[in-house]
Amino acid sequence: MIDKNALLEEITRLVVTELKEQNVTVSTKQQKSYVPVSISARHIHLQRDHLDALFGKGYQLTKHKDISQPGQWACNEKVTIQGPKGKIENVRVLSPLREATQVEVASSDARKLGLEPPVRSSGNLTGSAPITIIGPKGTIQLQEGCIIADRHIHMTPQDAMEFGVRDKQKVSVKVPGGKGGLMGEVTIRVRHNYALDMHIDTDDANAFGLSGNEQLQIIPD
């Protein structure tokens, strides 16, 4: 009489062995695929000397509230940004300070300002759009520094392993609902001190009917 349990175990062993020989990863854990989403309105990161120029020498930023990434927060301080065709007031400053000042806007903001900023990852400012920043104590004019932030997902190395993705990989994200669809060109960003979160701007949120805190599904490209 055939021992069905023993036969099943032997078949399973042979399949796993074959997959390993073909360098196929076998895991008993289900791969993760859903991430929370946050909506980033227009904002600015400042370098030290620009903070001094806008708010006064030695000025210290004050906290409004924490944001999703550890050690980062929205400040009470706000500035006005100006382009060739218009200006936008009450643009919030984020902390901590950066090595280079960076202004992040949505496409609709750029049209109001009369600018054509490129879609970039944070910190990639070479050749980005010029912009004027007006504070309570002074004004600065940047030759470059204004971008439209790319869609991206922050995660730790452990998260990346569990989601089966890697740093700088491009993925798509599935959005459910009446205005749902696929968001493409979403960049994976991996760092040990990140918290799992997807960031989109207000234009994307409005286009896909999102309000923030939804769980969206990663679809690797």
Residue of 118, 57, 46, 38 lying closest to 81 (CA atoms):
46
Structure tokens at 100: 């280079």
Asked whether residue 28 carries a pLDDT value surpassing 60, the answer given is no
**Which CATH code, of 2.40.40.20, 2.40.10.10, 3.50.50.60, 2.60.40.1930, is assigned to 30-37+151-220?**
2.40.40.20
- CATH 2.40.40.20 domain residues, the chain: 30-37+151-220
* Residue 160 CB burial class (10 angstroms; 0-12, 13-18, ≥19): buried
Spatial distance between the Cα atoms of 177 and 184, rounded to a whole number of angstroms: 17
Spatial distance between the Cα atoms of 92 and 67, rounded to a whole number of angstroms: 13
Strand partners, 199: 38, 152
pLDDT of residue 31: 81
Mean pLDDT, the chain, rounded, equals: 90
User: Full-prediction pTM beyond 0.85?
Assistant: no
H helices within 114-186, ranges in order?
Answer: 157-163
Indicate the pLDDT class of residue 220, thresholds 50, 70 and 90.
confident
Comparing 28-32, 76-80, 93-97, which segment has the lowest mean pLDDT?
Answer: 28-32
Spatial distance between the Cα atoms of 147 and 105, rounded to a whole number of angstroms: 6
